[in-house]
A = this chain, B = another copy of it.
Amino acid sequence: MQLSYFKKQFQRKRGQVNKYLDQCLPSAGTFPGPIYQAMRYSLLAGGKRFRPILTILTAELLGGRMSEAMPVAAALEMIHTYSLIHDDLPVMDNDDFRRGRPTNHKVFGEAMAILAGDALLTMAFQLITDKVKNKNLAARLVNEIAKAAGPDGMVGGQVLDIFKDIKSKGSLGKIMSLSPGVKWSPDIHRGEKYVREIHQRKTAALIVAAVRVGALTAGARPTQLNNLTRYAQNLGLAFQVVDDLLDLKGSQGQLGKTPHKDTRVGKLTYQAVLGENESWKQSRDLITAAKKSLDPFRSRAEMLKALADYVLQRGN
C-alpha cells in the first residue's frame, strides 16, 4: 500500500473520529458547564486518534461497519485522554504542554483536571453501554477495556513508572514494607525487563484492547482474535519504544509536548536501558513481527500493516 494512500485514509478516519467525539460531549454551556468545558478542552485537542482508528480498521478488516465500532473507538480515546490529563499533573509527570497546548490543569486548575479525567473515564463506560446495541457484546467490551485500563494494565504501568519518584520522596520503603510479596532491589527499575513491563502495561495494554474490541465488535472468531492480539502486542510495544526515541530528537512543535522531558526527569526509557541503536533495532523487529501476525488475513490487512509501518516511520 502506498504511504500517501494510507495517510489520506488515516486523516479521513481521524476527521470522522473527531466529529463523533465532538458530538459525544454536551456543549460547553451545559450545566455543570465547567466540567464539560474541561473535558472538551483535552478530548478535542487534536490528538493522533491512533487508538480509535486502530479499533475501526480492525473492525473493517473483519467486515464490520465503522458506525458500530465508532462508540467503542471513542470510548478508548476518552480513556487515553483521561490518562494523559492525570499523567500531566504536577504530582505525576508535571507537564505544561500536551498536543501543542497548555495542559488541562494549566488552564482549569488541578482540581478540575483531576475531575475532568475522572469524568472522561466514567463516561467511556457509559458511552459503550449506551450505544452498543448488542448488550452482551457491550458487557464484554467494558470488561476488556476495564482490564486493560485498570491496576493490572495502564494504571499499573503508571505506578511502575513513578516508582523512582516515590523512592526519591523517601516513602517507597514504607510502601514496600507493606507489600512483602514484591521482590524489591535497588536496581529493579534499571533493567530491560522492567522497562518492557512498564511499556506493556502503560501503553501496549490499551492498544491491544483497541484492536481486540474492534475485532469483537465485528464478531471475530477465536483464531482471528488471537492473530490480531499478537499484532497489537507487538505494535503497542513498538509504539512506545518509538515514542521514547521521538522524545530524544523531537522539537516541541513536532511532539506537541515538552521534548527531552523523559531524559531530563530521568524517566526509564528503552534507549536509557538499551541505547538508541538497539532500541531502533527492537522496534523494527517488533513491527516485522506485528505484520507477520496479519498474514492469514492477506490483502484485507493492508491498512493495519501500513499502520504498523507508519508507527516506525514517525521516528524517521
Q: Residues of A at under 8 Å CB distance from B?
A: 27-39, 41, 82, 86, 89, 91-92, 107-112, 114-115, 117-119, 121-123, 125-126, 128-130, 132, 135-136, 138-140, 142-143, 146-147, 149-151, 155-156, 158-160, 162-163, 165-166, 169, 171, 174-176, 178-182, 201
Partner of A159, one of B34, B158, B171: B34
Q: Which 5 A-B pairs have the closest CB atoms?
A: A29-B181, A126-B146, A33-B179, A129-B143, A33-B182
B residues within 8 A CB of A125?
125, 142-143, 146
B residues within 8 A CB of A33?
175-176, 179, 181-182
B residues within 8 A CB of A122?
121, 146, 149-151, 155
B residues within 8 A CB of A36?
151, 179
In the complex, the count of this chain's copies comes to 2
| Inter-chain contact B175/A34, CB cutoff 8 Å | yes
CA distance A117 to B155 in the complex (A): 10
B residues within 8 A CB of A130?
143
B residues within 8 A CB of A89?
111, 114
B residues within 8 A CB of A38?
175
Q: Which of A115, A128, A130 neighbours the largest number of chain B CB atoms within 10 Å of its CB?
A: A115
CA distance A179 to B38 in the complex (A): 10
| Inter-chain contact A151/B35, CB cutoff 8 Å | yes
B residues within 8 A CB of A179?
28-29, 33-34, 36-37
